[in-house]
Chains A and B, each alone.
Chain A
Amino acid sequence: MIFGLEFPPIENLVEWPNLFGPTDSWYGFNKIALINLVALVATTVLFLVAGRQKTLEPATNAPKGSRNLVESAVGFIRDGIIVETIGPDGLRYLPFLASLFFFILITNIFEVIPFFHMPGNARMAGPAVLALLTWVYFIAVGIKHQGLKYFWNSVAPAGVPKALLPLVVPIELLSTFIVRPFSLAVRLFANMLAGHILLVTFTVLCITLWGASLLLAVLPFSFLMLVGLTGFEIMVAFLQAYIFTILASVYIGSSMHAEH
């Protein structure tokens, strides 16, 4: 407690009571689950609205409105992420990567949406599930493209002298099959949690300063900082969705072909 500033314990920031279902049950539906549901519904509605016009518009009409938004996003994922990291033959993974991008982006953006103010990925559950699915997915792609030899190819890069293999294989094993999903999940989770704590810190500071008569002069700076950080967190929300998607794309691309 500094100058009457009392920071709430972290449970109060990130743990939400169930909206229905008993506490500690495996199906308790709380705010995080609600945010995930909204991410599903919002993406679906956006795509359905954008795709309601099934034919090509007249030659004079460029895509506009929701269709323009969705097409820009899909084009960005297709050309900016997949083609850059995997190449044109990675386009069949577009549904998975587009789902990842939209799901993460929308759950992240709830960090700054009024009445929610909670990034869905500031809980480890969401990132862990997504990282686990990505892990399973890239291993499945590797087995599909290279057979069971994929495991050996991915832990023993070509060109490494045989004498070094006892050293390289454990390192590669660790980095490919353990560090990859772990760092994917932790990166997303820690970024969003840090942003959330940052915003809460400045909000609590603002509230405390509101009550403190002498320190009221500092309040505008604190509030401006809060506004600026909100903008920064919007950028972080987008950036983390992008980074998660591009890393998933890189991992999938690396399991398609043996490294050489």
Chain B
Amino acid sequence: MSILAQATTAAEAALTAADQKSISAAGYAGLAYGLATLGPGIGIGYLVGQSVQAMARQPEAAGMVRTTMFLGIAFTEALALIGFVVFILLKFV
């Protein structure tokens, strides 16, 4: 760890404009991902809740409801995952 600490101090002296940009991007990455989770979180919660209600009302239709529920989750989740990809792009690239 001591080597790393020295390396960081040595590097800090020579931060270029590109470095500063990537640091601020990394800072916003977390924000972007946090925002991206909000909508899909609410969406999946609502979707699964309604599906459970439907299954409780009509247990004989549970198989069909479950399949449709997974499809819906897959579509809703895509937004959160795109947020995650943006996070990776901001953070590591």
Contact = CB atoms under 8 A, between A and B. Distances in A.
Direct interface between A and B, CB < 8 A: yes
Interface residues on A, range: 20 to 34
A4 B4 CA distance: 10
B92 A10 contact: yes
A225 interface: no
Contact of B4 (A6, A10, A186, A193): A6
Contact of A9 (B74, B85, B92): B92
Interface stretch (B15-23, B42-50, B52-60, B62-70): B62-70
Nearest to B84: A190
B74 A243 contact: yes
Nearest to A211: B1
B68 to A, nearest CB: 9
B28 to A, nearest CB: 17
A137 to B, nearest CB: 18
A247 B71 contact: yes
A246 B84 contact: no
B40 to A, nearest CB: 12
Given A10-B91, A183-B75, A239-B70, 9 more contacts: A6-B4, A80-B67, A186-B81, A186-B82, A193-B84, A242-B70, A246-B70, A246-B71, A247-B74
Which 9 A/B pairs are nearest by Cβ-Cβ distance?
Answer: A190-B81, A10-B92, A243-B74, A183-B78, A84-B67, A190-B84, A190-B85, A187-B81, A187-B78
